[in-house]
Homo-oligomer: A and B are copies of this chain.
Amino acid sequence: MAMKTQEDLFLHLLQDIYYAEKQILKALPKMAKAVDGTELATLFREHEEETEGQVERLKKVFELGDKRARGVKCQAILGLIEESEDVMDDASDDEVLAIGLTAGAQAVEHYEIARYGTLVQWAKELGYDESVPLLQQNLDEEKNADKKLNELALKSAKQKKKAA
């Protein structure tokens, strides 16, 4: 698609993150299942629910711009998700699996934080006033998810140290 104007860039990025969220919605249940029974699994399941809400908000942003909600293939997110799949295939024990999936999820969160940060900024500049709070809420949720993953990673490291 054309990326001639800032409006084009906004729409492209909206389609990109819409595609990404849908891919994440497919990946999260698999990731949760792989670490079933752990705090990390709970976190993944909570984030799956949150992601459903985010997709609905994105649909609203499309609607507000009189555009059809559709995704555009985003190589970056596919690469990030593939990495988590490799970890699930390869990890020799539950601990390695958990730390690998946590790191992969944090990379995904950072991807989304960057994209929503830009979308919020552009929505303000373009006067898409009703879209701003919707995108801001998605941004806040991603930041919060990253924070929780970080806390869990630090907590697991501490427990490991204690056990050693």
- Map CB proximity to B onto A98-130 as digits: 1 under 8 Å, 0 otherwise: 011001001101110111011001101100000
| A100 in complex: contacting residue of B9, B76, B99, B160, CB < 8 Å | B9
Residues of B within 8 A of A92 (CB): 4-5
Known A-B contacts A3-B87, A78-B75, A79-B79; the reply to A153 vs B111 at CB < 8 A is no
Q: State in angstroms the CA–CA spacing of A114 and B121 once bound together.
A: 21
CB <8 Å contact, A106 and B117: yes
Size bin of chain A's contact surface: 35 or more
- Chain A contact residues, CB within 8 Å of chain B: 2-6, 8-9, 13, 74-80, 82-83, 86-87, 90-92, 95-96, 99-100, 103, 106-107, 109-111, 113-115, 117-118, 121-122, 124-125, 150, 153-154, 157, 160-161
